[in-house]
Structure formats: C-alpha cells, structure tokens
C-alpha cells in the first residue's frame, strides 16, 4: 500500500483485505507501538466509509488514545485525512476534556494540531469555552458565543467568569512547566506564538529561563518570523534577567536588521510600543502581559537596561554599515530611530552618516551613484536627522547632527546642494531653525551653521535668478 507504484485497483483490493483483518481488533492495535502503524496506513489510504467504521470502533476511546504515546498518532491521522464530518466527530469527543488534555504532554499536541490546523471558527470556540468556567457556559448562546460578547451582554456576571477562569488557569502553571521546552516548536504559527507569549507572561523565572535557552538556537528565525517576532516583544516586556535577553538577541544583527519583522524587534527595544512601528491591535495584545505575577522589576528600569544593552551594538553597526543603511529605502528609517533613541556616544555614527555626503554634488550622480542629498532615501535621512536635533536638545544630549554635517562637509560642498531640488529641500529644512520660536531658545545660539545657511540661500538665488533680479 505504501509503494508509490501501487495501482488503484490493487490498492482497493489490498485495503479490503486489510479491513477484514483488523475489524474487531482496532482498539487493541491502536495502543501498540508496532500495529499502530498499520492503522495509520489504513486511515491514510482508506475510503471515507472505511475511516468512518474505524471511528465507530474507537469513538469511546478517543480521549485515552490522545493520551497514549502511540495511540495519539491514530487520532492525528483521522484529523489529517478525514473529511469535514469525520473531523467534526473527532473534535466533538474533545468537548469537556480540553482542560485536562492541555495539561497532558501527549494529548496537548493533539489539541494544538486540531485548533491550529483543522478547526473552523465554531470548533475553535468549542475547544476554548471549557477554559472559561460554568458561568460562561450558562450565559452562552448562539448570539453571544464568545467571551467578549458574553461579558458585554452580562456585565453583572463578569466577576464570576473572571474568578472561575482564575481557578481554572491556576493549574496552568503545571501546563507551562510541561510544555516550556516545546514552546520553541509551536511559535511559528499565529496561535502557537500566542501560547508562547502567555507562557512567558505567566511562567516563573525558571520557566522563562528554560524557554529563552531553548529559543537561543533559533533566535534569528524568531526575530524574522511573522508571528515569532511577537514572542520576542513579549519577552522584552516581562523577563527581568536582561543579561539573559542580551545573550539571545544580539547574535546575528546583520540578518535581523535587514528583515521587516527583525527591524520591528530592534525598534521595539529602542522605542517600546511606539504606534509609529506597531499596529494598535498588536499593542493591545502586548498589554495583556502587563502586571503579571512574576515580573518584579519596574517596567521603566527594564526598558532602560535593555536600551543600554542594545545601543552600543546598534550604533557600531550603523557606523560600520552607514552607506548600506542610509541608501536603502527599507533600512533608512532605522537610521533616524537609532540616533534618536540610542544611549551612549552618538558622534561616531553621526559622523559616519555625514561622511557619506562629504563630496561635491553633481546633478544626476557620477558613475550611476547619486549624491546622498539627491538620493531618494539618503536625502530623507538628512532631513530626519536635522529635525531630530531639536529632540536631542530637549533630551539634554550634546550631539547635533547639523553641526557635525557642516563641520564634516564644509561650506563649499554644501553650496553645491542647491543645484538639485532634493538638496535644496534639505537646506531649506535646516532654515526651520531660524523660526522665531526656535531662535529664541538658547540652545539654537550654539549652532555655527546658521550664518552659513544665509550664504547658501544667497547662492541659491545667484544660481537660479537672472542678474537683474538678484
């Protein structure tokens, strides 16, 4: 039957013979390590009627099969190869048993597979409602069939529902302890990532340490995964041992910073829960972990420690890879975020960025390479960094990109920027510092480049206007 070259007629004949051999002995075979493989083969190649007959013989033992080291494979095969009716019948046997099954090492994997890969919405609701308590079951109806709708329709019952859920979820510590080493294998899916996040939020310090150590080998996959990167954000929010987090996140910065999800991970460390980088729905999900019982360190202190950990390598990476980051549309946004939020000495990184503009601007570029002030991404970086000087001043930081840019590039080269629209716009952006409200600030008096800008404005007029209008 397993041979690829087995003809359909022969396959049907063999399946009939096999069915005659196993009829009445299926339960006995399902719990044995060798004969269970025969049943898996039978389910895979059998017809719907043959699978249905097998289910009829096993339906009273599905839960025990799920808890069996070998029998669980029979249940999984039925979910995998069965039609909608068969899958629904198997899932119906789970009703009322989900809670103890989740705490069982073997059965939990069947629930996870059923929920993530096979269940439709109604079946997912059925699998989860057992975790909400008796009050929810009584108040539930065809219209109010989710926890949110029941709570909205019965506000007076909300406290009872929460109390019952707490009693149910308290033994979940045992479940976290039993699955903490396997969390790494489920976090690549939407629901698996949510499970991993809850394990981090509600696990003890020991649970978290085990989870992070198992994640360490796969850290790049987590950081660059559509769902896995959310697990890292949850980890940043709740794990007090920031040294442990440091060892995990900074191993492959090059791969992470160039990925759209990896970039979110790094930006979260620089500016946590910034609406500019995260959807409101994601921020609400992350807020579920706030105030958990096992995070003792103040959130502001934890974030400060993580920022201190990630700032030096990010600044060093920007210094060493300034050209690649500034001239790339995807990573150019990260440049301004790093220099806006990182702590430590910003000058080397700022100088590396300014050095890219240290050449005379030739309209259209030379050898196909546009000047930074004319480049689609590069000129935006210049504008963003100049705008950030005000923020840096308000934060009490000494570094100013505008000053470093003028000192690095020089007056003559800066004048050449007026030859192109983007370069002129960058210089015009600098003139914002001459607004009355900015000029009145003492900080603005320190900028040596302001008199130069007036020269650039004069040069701009001389370049574009006829002599009679000078």
Write the pLDDT tens digit of every residue in 112-137: 899 989 999 889 988 888 888 888 88
Which class for 205: exposed (0-12), middle (13-18), buried (19 or more C-beta within 10 A)? Answer: middle
Report CA-CA distances (Å) from 109 to 72, 258, 305. 9, 34, 37
pLDDT of residue 245: 76
DSSP state for residue 115 in the 8-state scheme: I
pLDDT in tens, the chain (470 residues): 888 888 888 989 999 999 999 998 999 999 998 999 999 999 999 999 999 999 999 999 999 999 999 999 999 999 999 999 999 999 999 998 988 888 787 898 899 899 989 999 889 988 888 888 888 888 888 778 788 888 888 888 888 888 888 777 667 777 788 788 888 888 888 988 998 999 999 999 999 999 998 888 888 899 999 999 999 999 999 999 887 777 666 667 778 888 889 889 989 999 999 998 899 999 999 999 998 888 999 999 999 999 988 899 899 999 999 999 999 887 888 898 999 889 889 999 999 999 999 988 888 888 888 999 899 999 999 989 988 888 888 878 888 888 898 889 888 888 888 888 888 888 887 766 544 445 444 444 444 455 556 666 666 666 666 555 54
- Residue among 242, 235, 433, 263 nearest 338 (CA): 263
What is the spatial distance between Cα 39 and Cα 30, in angstroms, rounded to a whole number?
7
pLDDT tens figures, 361-400? 888 888 888 999 899 999 999 989 988 888 888 878 888 8
Report the predicted TM-score, pTM, of the whole model to 2 decimal places. Answer: 0.61
What is the spatial distance between Cα 352 and Cα 99, in angstroms, rounded to a whole number?
57
pLDDT of residue 434: 45
What is the spatial distance between Cα 10 and Cα 15, in angstroms, rounded to a whole number?
9
At residue 7, the 3 state secondary structure works out as coil
- Residue among 59, 41, 60 nearest 1 (CA): 41
pLDDT of residue 134: 84
The residues, ordered by sequence, that sit 6+ positions from 446 with a Cβ below 8 Å of its Cβ are 400, 403
pLDDT of residue 454: 64
pLDDT of residue 470: 46
pLDDT of residue 17: 93
């Amino acid at each position: 039957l397993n041979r690829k070259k087995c003809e359909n007629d022969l396959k049907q004949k063999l399946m009939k013979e096999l069915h005659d051999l196993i009829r009445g002995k299926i339960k006995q075979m399902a719990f044995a390590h060798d004969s269970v493989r025969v049943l898996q083969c039978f389910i895979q190649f059998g017809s719907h009627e043959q699978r249905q007959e097998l289910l009829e013989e096993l339906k009273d033992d599905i839960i025990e099969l799920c808890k069996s080291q070998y029998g669980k494979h029979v249940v999984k095969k039925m979910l995998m190869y069965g039609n909608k009716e068969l899958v629904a019948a198997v899932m119906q046997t789970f009703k009322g048993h989900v809670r103890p099954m989740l705490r069982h090492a073997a059965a939990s994997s069947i629930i996870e597979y059923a929920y993530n890969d096979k269940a439709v919405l109604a079946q997912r609701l059925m699998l989860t409602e057992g975790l909400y308590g008796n009050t929810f079951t009584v108040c539930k109806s065809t219209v109010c069939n989710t926890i949110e709708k029941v709570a909205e329709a019965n506000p007076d019952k909300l406290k009872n529902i929460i109390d019952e859920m707490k009693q149910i979820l308290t033994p979940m510590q045992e479940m976290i302890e039993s699955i903490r080493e396997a969390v790494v294998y489920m976090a690549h899916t939407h629901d698996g990532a949510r499970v991993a996040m809850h394990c981090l939020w509600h696990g003890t310090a020991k649970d978290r340490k085990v989870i992070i150590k198992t994640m360490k080998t796969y850290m790049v996959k987590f950081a660059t995964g559509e769902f896995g990167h959310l697990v890292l954000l949850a980890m940043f929010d709740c794990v007090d041992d920031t040294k442990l987090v440091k060892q995990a996140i900074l191993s492959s910065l090059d791969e992470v910073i160039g990925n759209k999800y990896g970039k979110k991970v790094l930006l979260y460390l620089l500016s946590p829960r910034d609406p500019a980088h995260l959807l409101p729905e994601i921020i609400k999900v992350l807020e579920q972990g706030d105030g958990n019982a096992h995070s003792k360190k103040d959130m502001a202190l934890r974030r400060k420690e993580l920022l201190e950990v990630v700032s030096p390598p990010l600044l060093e990476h920007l210094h060493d890879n300034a050209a690649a980051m500034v001239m790339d549309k995807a990573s150019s946004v990260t440049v301004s975020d790093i220099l806006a939020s990182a702590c430590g000495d910003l000058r080397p990184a700022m100088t590396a960025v300014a050095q890219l503009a240290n050449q005379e601007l030739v309209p259209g570029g030379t050898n196909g390479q546009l000047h930074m002030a004319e480049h689609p991404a590069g000129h935006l970086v210049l504008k963003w960094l100049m705008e950030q000087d005000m923020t840096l001043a308000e934060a009490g930081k000494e570094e100013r990109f505008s000053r470093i840019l003028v000192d690095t590039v020089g007056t003559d080269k800066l004048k050449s920027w007026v030859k192109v629209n983007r370069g002129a716009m960058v210089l015009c952006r600098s003139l914002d510092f001459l607004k009355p409200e900015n000029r009145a600030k003492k900080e603005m008096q320190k900028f040596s480049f302001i008199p130069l800008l007036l020269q650039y404005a004069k040069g701009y007029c001389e370049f574009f206007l006829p002599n009679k209008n000078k």
